Amino acid sequence: MRYVVAGLVLFATLNLYMCRINLSIAIVAMSRFNKTSHSSGSDVCDTNAYTTDPNNSTNSTTAYQSPHTEPTGEFDWDEKTQGMILGTFFYGYILFQVVGGRLSEMFGAKWLCGGGIAVSIVVNALTPIIARSGQYWLLLASRVVLGVFQSFVFPSIYALFSKWAPDSERSTCLAIPYVGANIGSVATTALSGYLSEHGFAGGWPSVFYVSAILATVWLVLWVILVRSEPKDHPWIAREELHYIQANIASSGKGSTKPPVPWMKIFTSIPVIAVVVVKFTVNWNCILLLLKLPSYFSSVFKYPVSKGMFLFGCYSGGDVPVVADMTNKYSATVFGITNTVAFTAGFITPMVIGLIVQASDEVRRQWGYVFWMSAAINAFGGLVFIVFGSAQQQEWDKHTTQPEPGVVSNM
C-alpha cells in the first residue's frame, strides 16, 4: 500500500505544479504588451528571418514578429505587471510553511495535502472569470490564496513519509514529490502552451479548466486511497504494516509528542546552510518556471508550446537532506527552510522584470539575468559544501530508534 501512497504523492505534486505554474505560460497569451515590439531589430532572434515565407520582410517593425508572439492578448500587462501577478503567489506561499508542517506532524498529513490542492482546483477554475472581471486586485488576491493553501502540501508530504517510508526507503520516497514536480513542470509548459494557442473557451482559459479537471480526478483518488498513518489504513496487509513499523524511526511507546527544539533548530549551522542553498536553488527554479516562457517569447520569438522542453535538473542534495538530519521534525524543519527559500518566489520575478525593462536591448538584459543567477547558485553550492551536513543532528537524537525485528508502537 505504501507504493500506492507514493504514486499518489507523485501525482499530487504534478497537479500542484500544474495549478501553480500554468499562469506563467498562459500569461504570454493573456498579455497584449510585447517588449520586443519596442526593441531594436538586432536585439532579438527572428525565427522568420531564416525561412522562405513570402510574407517575411526586412522592415524592423515586421521582420521580428511571429504569428505565435504577436501582442494580441486581452490584458495590458507589461513585464513588471506580469512579474507582480506571478510573484504574489509566493507572498501567500511563505506564510504557513512552518504552520503546515507542524499541523501535519500533530494531526495527520492527508487532509492538509488534499485541502491544499482542493483550494488550488477552485482558484484555477475561477481564474478566467476573475481575470476578465477587470478587478486587478482580485486576481492578485486569488494568487495569494493559492499560495497560502499550496504551502501546506510539501510539508505535509514530509510528515506523511515520516509515517509511511521505512528508513531504508526514505531518501527514495522524498525524491518522488520532486520527480512529480518536475514532470508537472514539463507537462504543464507543453500542455499550457498548446492550449493557449489551440484550446477551447478562447484558448488561454482552457489552461486553467484542464488543470482543475485533472486535479479533481487526483483528489477523489487521494481521499479514497490514502491515510495519514499505515495503522489507520483499512486495506494495508498485516505483513506490510509490521514491516513499516519495524523499520521506521519512532518517537517511542508514549503518545505524548515532545516539544520542538526551536532554538536548536534555528541556530543549527547545517539548517542555516540548507536555507541558503534552498534559496539559491529556488531562485533558479523560479527563473525557469516563471520567466523562461517570457525569455523564449521576447528574445527568440519562439512559440511557448515548443520552447519549454528545455528544463534542467535544478534539484539536488537539498531535497532529502532535511529528512537525513531529522525524521521526527522533518516537516517542521522543511517548513522553516522553505519559508525563507521561497522568498525568492516574489523577489525573482520582480528583479528580473526590472532588469529586462531597464533597457530596450532585451538580449543583453537577459544575459545579465543569467549571469546573476549563475553567481547566486554558485554561492549557494559553496555554502552547502562548507557548512552543510546530511548527518542526524543532536537535537533529533532523543528519538528512539527501532530495534531489529521489533515492531514499534505508532
Most confident of 101-115, 139-153, 179-193, 391-405: 139-153
Decide if pLDDT at 100 tops 50. Answer: yes
**318 vs 109, 175, 208, 278, 385, CA distance in Å?**
22, 10, 31, 7, 11
Q: Quick one: average pLDDT of 162-168?
A: 85
Which of the residue ranges 297-311, 344-358, 389-403 would you say has the lowest mean pLDDT?
Answer: 297-311
For the chain, how long is the longest CA-to-CA vector? 79
The per-residue pLDDT for 37 is: 42
The per-residue pLDDT for 42 is: 42
d(CA 257, CA 213): 39
d(CA 229, CA 159): 10
d(CA 278, CA 274): 6
Residue 73 makes CB contacts below 8 A (sequence gap 6+) with 28, 29, 30, 31, 32, 33, 204
Q: How confident is the model at residue 299 (pLDDT cuts 50, 70, 90)?
A: low
Decide if pLDDT at 172 tops 90. Answer: no
Q: Quick one: average pLDDT of 215-227?
A: 96
Neighbours of 385 (CB within 10 A): 11
In angstroms and rounded to an integer, the radius of gyration of the C-alpha atoms of the chain is 23
Percent residues over pLDDT 90 in the chain: 22
Decide if pLDDT at 6 tops 60. Answer: yes
Neighbours of 53 (CB within 10 A): 10
21, 185 contact by CB (below 8 A): yes
What is the CA angle 99-105-108, rounded to 5? Answer: 105
The per-residue pLDDT for 114 is: 93
**192 vs 179, 248, 251, CA distance in Å?**
19, 41, 45
The per-residue pLDDT for 358 is: 76
Q: Quick one: average pLDDT of 212-230?
A: 95
Grid cell at residue 43: 536585439
Decide if pLDDT at 312 tops 50. Answer: no
127, 23 contact by CB (below 8 A): yes
DSSP conformational letter for 151: T
Q: Quick one: average pLDDT of 57-84?
A: 57
In terms of residues, how long is the chain? Answer: 410
The per-residue pLDDT for 254 is: 45
Q: Quick one: average pLDDT of 29-53?
A: 49
The per-residue pLDDT for 380 is: 87
User: pLDDT tens digit string along 8-25?
Assistant: 999 999 999 999 989 988
User: pLDDT tens digit string along 378-401?
Assistant: 898 899 889 888 777 877 776 444
Grid cell at residue 56: 517575411
Most confident of 10-24, 44-58, 156-170: 10-24
Decide if pLDDT at 121 tops 90. Answer: yes
User: 275: burial class by Cβ within 10 Å (0-12, 13-18, 19+)?
Assistant: buried
Most confident of 207-221, 227-241, 302-316, 379-393: 207-221
Of 210, 150, 152, 174, whose CA–CA distance to 25 is shortest? Answer: 210
Helix boundaries (H) for 199-320 = 204-225, 238-246, 262-266, 269-286, 292-299, 304-307
DSSP conformational letter for 291: I
Between 357 and 406, whose confidence is greater?
Answer: 357
Domains of the chain: 2-37+76-247+266-387 (1.20.1250.20)
149, 112 contact by CB (below 8 A): no
Phi, psi of 221 (to 5 degrees): -65, -40
Most confident of 40-44, 85-89, 247-251, 359-363: 85-89
What SS3 state is found at 206?
helix
The per-residue pLDDT for 289 is: 67
Between 98 and 274, whose confidence is greater?
Answer: 274
Between 11 and 322, whose confidence is greater?
Answer: 11
Q: What is the mean pLDDT of the chain?
A: 77
The per-residue pLDDT for 214 is: 96
Decide if pLDDT at 311 tops 80. Answer: no
The per-residue pLDDT for 226 is: 93
The per-residue pLDDT for 304 is: 53
DSSP conformational letter for 31: B
Q: Quick one: average pLDDT of 162-191?
A: 84
